[in-house]
Amino acid sequence: MPARDNMCFVIAIDGPAAAGKGTVAKTVSNHFGFAYLDTGLLYRAVAAKTLLGEDPVKAAERLDLETLNNSNLRSAEVANAASKVAGIPEVRAALFHFQKRFAQRPGGAVLDGRDIGTAICPDADLKLFVTAASEVRAKRRFEELRENGAFIDYEKVLTDLKARDARDMSRQDAPLVAANDAKIIDTSDLTIEQSNERAVKLTQMALDDLYQ
């Protein structure tokens, strides 16, 4: 079903690192014509500025959306720094309104991150929690980084990913946790197509519930 111009339909997709949130989110947004925001990029952009010596809170307050297109944001170094700046409450507060406004776009919106279903859009029409075993996620991230030309070994990717998940789950402010009403998609034994299919089906069911 194509998105209706005046509808406000929000899909919140959360989950740990490299679980496949982005792939599922892009597929759902393309399929239904919803706007898509990868909120991890906001934290990555702040982290990239911090690595260049900027104060994290100031970097978050002045975040220029052009920076979200920088190709270096997907590096392992930036990912690790992102989960550190993401633990600073003032950084999260500075990024809150942009995400909230994005979610209110007419025509529907998909946001993926760590706290979308719990803190940014607790009233989302559909919440998905996309997860997978850490070894599977590390293998996927390792292959992605290698394809992008990074010299990195699998063990280091696995250690970094576990450390990042632990930091994301244990922080005080908006920790990574599945919302009580989230539908879990465990992609450990699913192909990309199967994960996408599941998410599209759940979205269609949520739309049918709302509009029929």
What is the bridge-based pairing of β-strands 126-131 and 10-14? parallel
- CB of residue 155 vs ligand CDP: minimum separation in angstroms? 17
Q: What is the Cα–Cα distance from 40 to 114, expressed in whole angstroms?
A: 8
Nearer to ligand CDP, 40 or 108 (CB): 40
For residues 41 and 74, is the Cβ–Cβ distance under 8 A? no
Nearer to ligand CDP, 58 or 84 (CB): 84
Nearer to ligand CDP, 32 or 102 (CB): 102
For residues 30 and 20, is the Cβ–Cβ distance under 8 A? no
Nearer to ligand CDP, 114 or 198 (CB): 114
Could you report how far apart the first and last alpha carbons of the chain are, in Å?
A: 12
Q: What is the Cα–Cα distance from 43 to 41, expressed in whole angstroms?
A: 5
- CB of residue 165 vs ligand CDP: minimum separation in angstroms? 8
- CB of residue 53 vs ligand CDP: minimum separation in angstroms? 20
Q: What is the Cα–Cα distance from 180 to 161, expressed in whole angstroms?
A: 24
Nearer to ligand CDP, 24 or 168 (CB): 168
Binding residues (CB under 6 A) for ligand CDP: these are 17-18, 39-40, 43-44, 79, 82-83, 86, 113-116, 164, 168
- CB of residue 129 vs ligand CDP: minimum separation in angstroms? 13
Burial class (CB in 10 A: 0-12, 13-18, 19+), 146: middle
- CB of residue 83 vs ligand CDP: minimum separation in angstroms? 3
